[in-house]
Amino acid sequence: MKEINYLDLLHVWFDAKRTFLRSRSVDAEVELSERDGEAIAIRVILESKAKMGEIIVWDNGMAELQLGSVVTGEVTTKSQSLSSGGELQSYEEQLLGWMLDD
């Protein structure tokens, strides 16, 4: 059975959403961390005037979701070891929902 590459899945999601997010005044960027030319982590960062959010996924399957309010300074963090693409998709949906919810 082939192992799921969560880093690639998150990068593909980011590429698909980047233009849409920018059209909604959400700054979007991605950062890759590498060791010896191999990706070991990916970080998707979204920011608007009132909110910020990010997903970090490491090559060992660990993932972290942070959602924050620029206005209140409150930040919520969730971490888990991913065991399916659906779990990563849940993080993506939560991040997108947070950033686009007025």
* pLDDT one-digit tens code per residue, 21-52: 999 999 999 999 999 988 899 999 999 999 99
Q: Are 78 and 56 in contact (CB under 8 A)?
A: no
Mean pLDDT of 54-70: 96
Contact 51, 42 (CB under 8 A): no
CA separation for the pair 62, 58 (Å, rounded):
5
Location of structure tokens 């059209």: 23
Q: Let me know the angle formed at the C-alpha of 75 by 52 and 70, rounded to the nearest 5 degrees.
A: 45
Instruction: Tell me what the mean pLDDT of segment 45-63 comes to.
Output: 96
Give the global pTM. 0.92
